[in-house]
């Protein structure tokens, strides 16, 4: 679908590592290029036309994000460098100040490092306890399992909407409903979901949401922190400096600007925001429903083909997204990736930053295929052809 929009298609690679980052369409590249070619200036600073144009494009990108996730207000959209920074801001700028020793945060063992390590840090500094939601037989989080670990001390549940190794879609709406009835905040890591499924923060009643531009056809170094306005108002800026202050004097009196600028100190990632806005326009033009449908069908095809191969063990046969993790019997995951690379097929191998998932799944490393709307059956056929013959893999690994 829409393959002609992507200059990277001319390289001849078969790119199946979209969970790591996606390729960028010309539409996005042109928007970024246009900023540097035709209206380079800083944002929020100028009293001249060029800078006003930058302001208007930068703030327009914020409006595009707001509409995309159906936020209530543009003030709820903070540009960050990505999911990782967004989650760190939530942990350190909000929860660090309100959590007390003995409070509990629930995560799962299939979270990405970015949704584990900031909480580990709070455990150290604030004396809070980290608890893990037990996963079911498919390695999924269910509300019933969450209820088993929720106690009166639970203050936060922080989960990926879709995980990056198992690819399961968590029942966020059910979770927020139960959590909010029990005064528990819900943080959602949307890195692997926002690019693939329609997400409505109001309908899901999410308190905080983090995602990255580069996994959704946008540039690297830009992402979003969404928070309900009444919560974001209490987030302490982790960066202090230009742009975010109204005024200060020489006796330490600092007056900060209102949201969203208060949380965006320094020169922002202007090209990033403009690029992300363009990426969202591009995805919306195709339609998120169409994207999800294509990925669902392609996943089905991939899993059916992989399961015909006796020496392949699929870790997440039943899953909801375009992420398929597997191993080839007796062959180290990295060796499989290196073998496929000889044929210009890009897949990821390793623990995929979900380093404690091995406790649940029983294997440390896997080969991961993560598809996007521009992948095709023909590409899957080429992959399957190369994986079918185990002797060929063994011979060519040497």
Binding segment (CB under 6 A) for ligand PMP, from list 78-86, 119-127, 138-146, 258-266 = 78-86
How far CA 161 is from CA of 49, 165, 166, 178, in Å, comes to 41, 12, 12, 16
CB of 192 to ligand PMP, least distance (A): 5
Strand partners, 227: 208
Residue for token pair 């295929």: 369
CB of 212 to ligand PMP, least distance (A): 3
Largest CA distance in the chain: 74
Q: Given the complex with ligand PMP, which of 22 and 312 has the nearer CB atom?
A: 22
Residue for token pair 């899953």: 319
CB of 158 to ligand PMP, least distance (A): 11
Under rule CB under 6 A, residue 158 binds ligand PMP: no
Under rule CB under 6 A, residue 316 binds ligand PMP: no
Binding segment (CB under 6 A) for ligand PMP, from list 125-133, 174-182, 184-192, 303-311 = 184-192
**CA 95, 96, 99, 105 torsion-angle sign:** positive
Q: What gap in Å lies between CA 18 and CA 15, rounded to an integer?
A: 7
Binding segment (CB under 6 A) for ligand PMP, from list 185-193, 280-288, 338-346, 361-369 = 185-193
**CA 383, 385, 391, 397 torsion-angle sign:** negative
Where in 104-123 is the site for ligand PMP (CB under 6 A)? 112, 114-115
Binding segment (CB under 6 A) for ligand PMP, from list 34-42, 177-185, 186-194, 233-241 = 186-194
Residue of 176, 192, 199, 321 interacting with ligand PMP (CB under 6 A): 192
Residue of 88, 126, 158, 164 interacting with ligand PMP (CB under 6 A): 164
Give the relative orientation of helices 377-388 and 288-307 as an angle to the nearest 10 degrees. Answer: 20
Q: What gap in Å lies between CA 203 and CA 173, rounded to an integer?
A: 8
Q: Given the complex with ligand PMP, which of 22 and 115 has the nearer CB atom?
A: 115
Q: Given the complex with ligand PMP, which of 192 and 199 has the nearer CB atom?
A: 192
Q: Given the complex with ligand PMP, which of 123 and 353 has the nearer CB atom?
A: 353
Contact 243, 265 (CB under 8 A): yes
CB of 115 to ligand PMP, least distance (A): 6
Structure tokens at 366: 């896997």
Residue for token pair 């960028």: 24
Where in 338-357 is the site for ligand PMP (CB under 6 A)? 353
Under rule CB under 6 A, residue 82 binds ligand PMP: yes
Q: Determine whether 391 is exposed, middle or buried from the number of CB atoms within 10 Å of its CB (0-12, 13-18, 19+).
A: exposed
| Catalytic-role residue among 133, 217, 346, 353 | 353
Contact 43, 270 (CB under 8 A): yes
Which positions from 209 to 228 touch ligand PMP by CB under 6 A, shown as an x/- string? ---x----------------
Under rule CB under 6 A, residue 191 binds ligand PMP: yes
Under rule CB under 6 A, residue 160 binds ligand PMP: yes
Backbone dihedral angles phi then psi of residue 70, each to the nearest 5 degrees: 60, 45
- For 149, the 3-state DSSP assignment is helix
Active site residue 133: no
CB of 183 to ligand PMP, least distance (A): 26
CB of 165 to ligand PMP, least distance (A): 9
Q: How many CB atoms lie within 10 A of CB 114?
A: 21
Q: Given the complex with ligand PMP, which of 86 and 126 has the nearer CB atom?
A: 86
CB of 74 to ligand PMP, least distance (A): 22
Contact 120, 87 (CB under 8 A): no
Q: What gap in Å lies between CA 209 and CA 361, rounded to an integer?
A: 27
Site residues (vs ligand PMP, CB under 6 A): 19, 82-84, 112, 114-115, 160, 164, 189, 191-192, 212, 353
> Active-site residues: which are they?
353
């Amino acid at each position: 679908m829409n393959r002609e929009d992507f200059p990277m298609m001319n390289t001849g690679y078969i790119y199946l590592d979209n969970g790591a980052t996606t390729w960028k369409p010309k539409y996005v590249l042109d928007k970024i290029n246009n900023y540097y070619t035709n209206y380079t200036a800083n944002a929020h600073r100028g009293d001249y036309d060029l800078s006003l144009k930058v302001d208007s494009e930068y703030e327009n990108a914020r409006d595009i994000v707001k509409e995309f996730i159906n936020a209530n207000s543009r003030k709820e959209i903070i540009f960050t460098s990505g999911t990782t920074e967004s989650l760190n801001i939530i942990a350190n700028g909000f929860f660090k100040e309100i959590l007390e020793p003995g409070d509990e945060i629930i995560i799962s063992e299939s979270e990405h490092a970015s949704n584990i390590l900031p909480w580990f840090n709070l455990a150290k500094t604030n004396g809070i306890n980290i608890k893990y939601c037990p996963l079911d037989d498919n390695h999924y989080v269910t509300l019933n399992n969450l209820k088993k670990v929720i106690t009166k001390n639970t203050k936060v549940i922080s989960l990926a909407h879709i995980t990056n190794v198992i690819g399961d879609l968590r029942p966020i709406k059910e979770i927020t409903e139960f959590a909010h009835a029990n005064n528990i905040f819900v943080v959602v890591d949307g890195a692997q979901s926002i690019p693939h499924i329609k997400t409505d923060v109001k309908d899901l009643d999410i308190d905080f949401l983090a995602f990255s531009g580069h996994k959704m056809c946008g540039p690297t170094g830009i992402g979003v922190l969404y928070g309900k306005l009444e919560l974001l108002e209490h987030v302490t800026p982790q960066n202090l400096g230009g742009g975010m202050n109204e005024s200060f004097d020489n006796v330490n009196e600092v007056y900060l600007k209102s949201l969203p600028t208060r949380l965006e100190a320094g020169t922002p990632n202007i090209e990033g925001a403009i690029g992300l806005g363009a990426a969202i326009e591009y995805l919306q033009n195709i339609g998120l429903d169409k994207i999800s449908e294509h990925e669902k069908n392609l996943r089905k095809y991939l899993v059916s083909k992989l399961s015909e191969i006796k020496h392949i063990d699929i870790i997440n046969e039943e899953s909801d997204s375009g992420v398929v993790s597997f191993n080839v019997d007796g062959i180290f995951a990295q060796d499989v990736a290196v073998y496929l690379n000889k044929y210009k097929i890009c897949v990821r191998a390793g623990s995929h930053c979900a380093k404690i998932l091995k406790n649940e799944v029983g294997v440390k490393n896997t080969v991961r295929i993560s598809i996007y709307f521009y992948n095709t059956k023909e590409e899957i056929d080429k992959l399957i052809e190369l994986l079918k013959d185990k002797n060929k893999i063994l011979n060519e690994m040497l």
